[in-house]
């Protein structure tokens, strides 16, 4: 069998999070999930004689998106009319950008399992969204609440080679949009919609094969699955000696297959021409305003977290993908740093690292799990970062055992109280004092004569069971190392 390589390009539509629609003052987002046609006006429904006015906020957000993707930004641009007739397009044409997109020639770096990879961005332009058609009981109804929302269209060069890269590319775009507050990019709400162009060619050759377009991919999982499916399908077609047909395919999620929607006829004649109702405009002030939106990008945060905190790359990825969680982690670390400076003793670099790692470990294993189970988020955390830092100090200094730490954390989530108060009121302080533990140790030995005998006969593993009993009787407050030593000493003495 010949070896093939997939050549994949993506087209991504993103609804911009602005106050109003692209060319009128209707509110952006109103009525989308409630009542049809309550958020429309003569402009977005294309009444004759109305005039569109471009939304500067949308253009600033688009320029900022372009800057984040290292695009050139046009210093002078305009809108075009794209003529086509479809019931969800009330004007009979769409205002879009054709000849001169606001952003062009960019690139994005993504982290794949095989290392970093660059994907070139051909262009990102601004257009208006269409309305929505629904088919109910054999009738078609149209809702124009979405018509005229600012919609950014991003097109990549065919630099993607497999499903994993495509999925990570989409995820990274969504992160950038969220970090910069350009869009929430929720795919299930249609705020971000992906299309894939995919063709195969024999490995080592340069000519492109016939490409197939897959439309309406509404989750990252589906992007990945559709590409995987299509690579197999096209390989089989080529291996049979047939040719791939140029066509548009859809995704059937139930059957997990792509299916032919329509064969490519001749290219549409959209009869683009410059939008006569909006004069061409200079973009200097848009570019300046965009550049003033400062926020750390995910890629920068990733690199900083790896270097500054020396966390494992999986931990960094969890933090980077959840901005509220990352902010929470950094607040905790800054609390801990302030504490270390205020303490009279000097902390070694190893102790610094240990505190940061403890913070990350408890946060990304325990706290994240409990929050997930209870439906809590870090935007609205019942444990303040200050109290969480306090908790880490308590664990670090050995004031509570690891069992005690679990109890303490749960109590903190339940009550939102100060951890030191909980340690005090619940008696969670770790007991390392042998005199204080001797009573419990004696009791555990007396209760478990068989296990003690096993230990005396050389089965060293059973000591863990006895330690567990001491922990239970002390309600988790015993220092397990001290308990173990004390058990050993007492059993040997009694032998």
* Site residues for Zn ion per CB under 5 A: 24, 26, 41, 43-44
Least separation in angstroms between CB 126 and Zn ion:
16
Least separation in angstroms between CB 382 and Zn ion:
42
- Distance (Å, whole) CA 156 – CA 123: 7
Least separation in angstroms between CB 364 and Zn ion:
45
Residues 6+ apart with CB under 8 A from 182: 14, 16, 17, 61, 62, 64, 65, 176
- Nearer Cβ to Zn ion (14/44): 44
Question: CB–CB of 197/11 below 8 Å?
Answer: yes
- Nearer Cβ to Zn ion (20/322): 20
What the block records as the tokens of 352 is 């610094």
- Nearer Cβ to Zn ion (41/278): 41
Residues 6+ apart with CB under 8 A from 47: none
Measured between its terminal Cα atoms, the distance across the chain in Å is 74
- Nearer Cβ to Zn ion (22/383): 22
Strand pairing class (247-252; 150-156):
unpaired
Tokens 């950038």, residue? 176
Tokens 């059937």, residue? 252
Nearest to 249 by CA among 208, 207, 217, 209: 217
Least separation in angstroms between CB 18 and Zn ion:
13
- Distance (Å, whole) CA 428 – CA 399: 8
- Nearer Cβ to Zn ion (46/468): 46
Least separation in angstroms between CB 148 and Zn ion:
6
- Distance (Å, whole) CA 70 – CA 68: 5
- Distance (Å, whole) CA 229 – CA 40: 40
Least separation in angstroms between CB 169 and Zn ion:
33
Q: Which helix (H) or strand (E) holds 103?
A: strand 103-112
- Nearer Cβ to Zn ion (24/451): 24
- Nearer Cβ to Zn ion (43/320): 43
Least separation in angstroms between CB 307 and Zn ion:
48
- Distance (Å, whole) CA 13 – CA 375: 31
């Amino acid at each position: 069998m010949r070896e093939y390589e997939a050549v994949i390009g993506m087209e991504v539509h993103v609804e911009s999070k602005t106050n109003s629609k692209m060319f009128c003052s209707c509110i952006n987002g109103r009525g989308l999930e409630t009542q049809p046609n309550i958020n429309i006006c003569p402009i977005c429904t294309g009444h004759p004689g109305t005039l569109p006015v471009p939304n500067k906020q949308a253009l600033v957000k688009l320029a900022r998106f372009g800057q984040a993707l290292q695009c050139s930004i046009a210093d002078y641009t305009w809108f075009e009319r794209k003529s086509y007739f479809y019931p969800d397009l009330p004007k009979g044409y769409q205002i879009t950008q054709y000849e001169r997109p606001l952003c062009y020639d960019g690139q994005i770096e993504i982290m794949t399992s095989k290392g970093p990879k660059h994907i070139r961005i051909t262009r990102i332009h601004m257009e208006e969204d269409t309305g929505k058609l629904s088919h109910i009981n054999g009738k078609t109804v149209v809702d124009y609440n979405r018509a005229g929302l600012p919609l950014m269209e991003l097109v990549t060069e065919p630099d993607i080679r497999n499903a994993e890269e495509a999925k990570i590319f989409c995820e990274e775009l969504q992160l950038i949009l969220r970090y910069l507050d350009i869009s929430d990019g929720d795919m299930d709400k249609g705020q971000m919609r992906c299309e894939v162009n995919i063709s195969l060619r024999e490995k080592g050759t340069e000519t492109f094969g016939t490409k197939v377009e897959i439309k309406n991919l509404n989750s990252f999982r589906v992007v990945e699955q559709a590409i995987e499916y299509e690579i197999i399908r096209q390989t089989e077609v080529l291996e049979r000696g047939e040719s791939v047909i140029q066509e548009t395919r859809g995704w059937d999620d139930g059957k997990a297959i792509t299916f032919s929607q329509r064969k490519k006829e001749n290219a549409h004649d959209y009869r683009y021409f410059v939008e006569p109702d909006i004069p061409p405009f200079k973009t200097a002030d848009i570019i300046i305003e965009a550049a003033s939106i400062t926020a750390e990008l995910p890629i920068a945060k990733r690199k900083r977290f790896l270097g500054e905190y020396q966390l494992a790359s999986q931990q960094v990825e969890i933090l980077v993908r959840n901005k509220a969680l990352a902010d929470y982690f950094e607040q905790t670390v800054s609390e801990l740093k302030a504490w270390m400076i205020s303490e009279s003793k000097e902390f070694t670099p190893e102790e610094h690292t240990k505190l940061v790692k403890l913070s990350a470990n408890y946060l990304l294993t325990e706290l994240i799990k409990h929050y997930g189970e209870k439906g809590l988020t870090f935007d609205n955390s019942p444990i303040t970062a200050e109290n969480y830092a306090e908790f880490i100090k308590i664990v670090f200094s050995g004031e509570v055992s690891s069992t005690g730490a679990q109890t303490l954390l749960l109590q903190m989530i339940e009550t939102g109280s100060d951890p030191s108060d909980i340690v005090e009121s619940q008696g969670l302080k770790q007991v390392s004092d042998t005199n204080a533990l001797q009573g419990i140790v004696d009791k555990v030995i007396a209760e478990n004569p068989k296990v003690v005998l096993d230990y005396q006969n050389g089965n060293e593993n059973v000591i863990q069971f006895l330690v567990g009993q001491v922990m239970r009787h002390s309600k988790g407050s015993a220092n397990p190392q001290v308990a173990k030593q004390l058990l050993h000493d007492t059993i040997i003495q009694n032998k």
